[in-house]
Chain A
Amino acid sequence: QVQLQESGPGLVKPSETLSLTCTVSGGFISSYYWSWIRQPPGKGLEWIGYIYYNGSTNYNPSLRSRVTISIDTSKNQFYLKLSSVTAADTAVYYCARDLRCSSTICDDNWFDPWGPGTLVTVSS
């Protein structure tokens, strides 16, 4: 079955750019949407954005000015960049497959499966 694994630096300095990679195994990245979601320590979940295998993206309006999600189908990987980070961006970052229903009778999504998550701390 499909498995996801996040990777990247665990410590980022304020004002710098957070960069993470999600590697998909056990299946092809094509034909699906893929999302990034984060969870500050002790707090709830926040959707960051998604990318489709063809490269089209959609971001949470609250983060849109700082987020870039990209994809490399040849490597079965997709990526997150979050610029100008502050301590408020400290969180566990998850990648997940984003399953969508888009038609005249549905417009919804659900995330399954999720990666194990990676903690990114923003600190000098």
Chain B
Amino acid sequence: SYELTQPPSVSVSPGQTATITCSGDKLGNKYACWYQQKPGQSPVLVIFQDTKRPSGVPERFSGSNSGNTATLTISGTQAMDEADYYCQAWDRSTGVFGGGTKLTVL
């Protein structure tokens, strides 16, 4: 079965750029999306089809996908961005999630 691998944790200082990666075999040949989940809340879509931002998601969130790695970038990270982030892709009629990355803003 297809697997997506994320680093368990990423730390960033306020105002700096946070980068969260998601790795999978030939992931660049698929579309990836990203969800933000704050404690006690349901996930919220922040990026779909590699680079697209849903309405209402701040411009500081951006995405890319090439080779075996999809990347979520948060520019000018704010304290409110502290959360778990999950990547997701569709492979052979199955939805697949990465294990999640805890973003700490300190």
Contacts and interface: CB of A to CB of B under 8 A. Distances in A.
Interface of A: 35, 37, 44-47, 50, 58, 60-62, 94, 99, 101, 106-117
Given A106-B31, A111-B35, A112-B54, A47 B42 contact: no
A47, A58, A62, A115, most chain B CB atoms within 10 A = A47
A56 to B, nearest CB: 12
Contact of B30 (A50, A108, A115): A108
Interface stretch (B10-18, B72-80, B84-92): B84-92
Nearest to A47: B95
B31 A112 contact: no
Instruction: Classify the secondary structure of A's interface with B.
Output: strand
Given A35-B95, A61-B94, A101-B49, A108 B89 contact: yes
Of the four ranges (under 10, 10 to 19, 20 to 34, 35 or more), the interface on chain B belongs to 20 to 34
Contact of A47 (B44, B45, B96, B99): B96
B63 to A, nearest CB: 12
11 contacts: A45-B35, A45-B43, A47-B96, A101-B31, A107-B90, A108-B33, A110-B48, A110-B49, A112-B45, A113-B45, A114-B42
B94 A45 contact: no
A114 B44 contact: yes
A37 to B, nearest CB: 8
Contact of B100 (A35, A45, A60, A99): A45
A110 B42 contact: no
Contact of B45 (A44, A111, A115): A111
Given A108-B31, A114-B42, A61 B1 contact: yes
A116 B93 CA distance: 25
Given A45-B43, A111-B43, A60 B94 contact: yes
Contact of A114 (B30, B43, B89): B43
Given A47-B94, A106-B49, 9 more contacts: A44-B86, A44-B98, A45-B97, A94-B42, A108-B30, A108-B33, A111-B45, A113-B44, A115-B42
Nearest to A112: B45
